[in-house]
Chains A and B, each alone.
Chain A
Amino acid sequence: AQSVTQLGSHVSVSEGALVLLRCNYSSSVPPYLFWYVQYPNQGLQLLLKYTSAATLVKGINGFEAEFKKSETSFHLTKPSAHMSDAAEYFCAVSFNFGNEKLTFGTGTRLTIIP
């Protein structure tokens, strides 16, 4: 079964510091990987996605993620945190054609320290 693990349910960084949110997946076949952001009482917004093209994926709001097959990881980074980045972040995985389900990680709450 497909699964994704997010290490760290809470991450705090200072404004201007590097943001690193970790995501590892479990799969025996090539995955599709996604990062979503959720602001309070709102739905999910797609930050970026990996679909077997370039391993370094750039998304919105300055975020990027690198797919590392050898480490089964898809960590999310941003060079310089902004106060507006405070939110809940979810990593999700999907596999192959015909299996349309997204499996979500448990989420990481990002807090930005002024």
Chain B
Amino acid sequence: GAVVSQHPSRVICKSGTSVKIECRSLDFQATTMFWYRQFPKQSLMLMATSNEGSKATYEQGVEKDKFLINHASLTLSTLTVTSAHPEDSSFYICSARRTGSSYNEQFFGPGTRLTVL
């Protein structure tokens, strides 16, 4: 159990376009999901915390108008990179916290590789 999927796994887009990445918890409900960004050979940087039915909480320095997060159900959160530019190219990873979990364990998706040309 506790499987998280992401779609797409890879996406290449032109500069100025928007890209949507989906994160789904397949076999559990997740009130809270998290979006991370990972640069090559570096650690994960938390971008935002997504709570079902409410606005996401963004980390300092993350542009909320550029990285739109929607958590419309207990199994789905989406990250939309608006007006993408080459510097937005990165590996984006989501995670989900099982509803009712008492020690903050997060289950991670396989990641989405975004390349902006």
The one of B43, B104, B107 that contacts A104, using a Cβ cutoff of 8 Å: B43
Give A96-108 as 1s and 0s: 1 = Cβ < 8 Å from B's Cβ atoms.
0101111011110
Interface pair A90/B43, CB less than 8 Å apart? yes
Residues of A60-114 contacting chain B, CB below 8 A: 90, 94, 97, 99-102, 104-107, 109
Number of A-B contacts (CB under 8 A): 54
Interface pair A44/B108, CB less than 8 Å apart? yes
The one of A42, A49, A100, A104 that contacts B44, using a Cβ cutoff of 8 Å: A104
Other CB < 8 Å A-B pairs besides A32-B104, A44-B95, 15 of them? A34-B105, A42-B111, A44-B44, A44-B108, A46-B105, A49-B105, A90-B44, A94-B103, A94-B104, A97-B102, A100-B32, A100-B34, A100-B49, A102-B95, A107-B42
* Distance of A99 Cα from B106 Cα, bound (Å): 13
- Size category of the A interface is 20 to 34
Interface residues of A (CB under 8 A from B): 32, 34, 36, 41-46, 49, 51, 90, 94, 97, 99-102, 104-107, 109
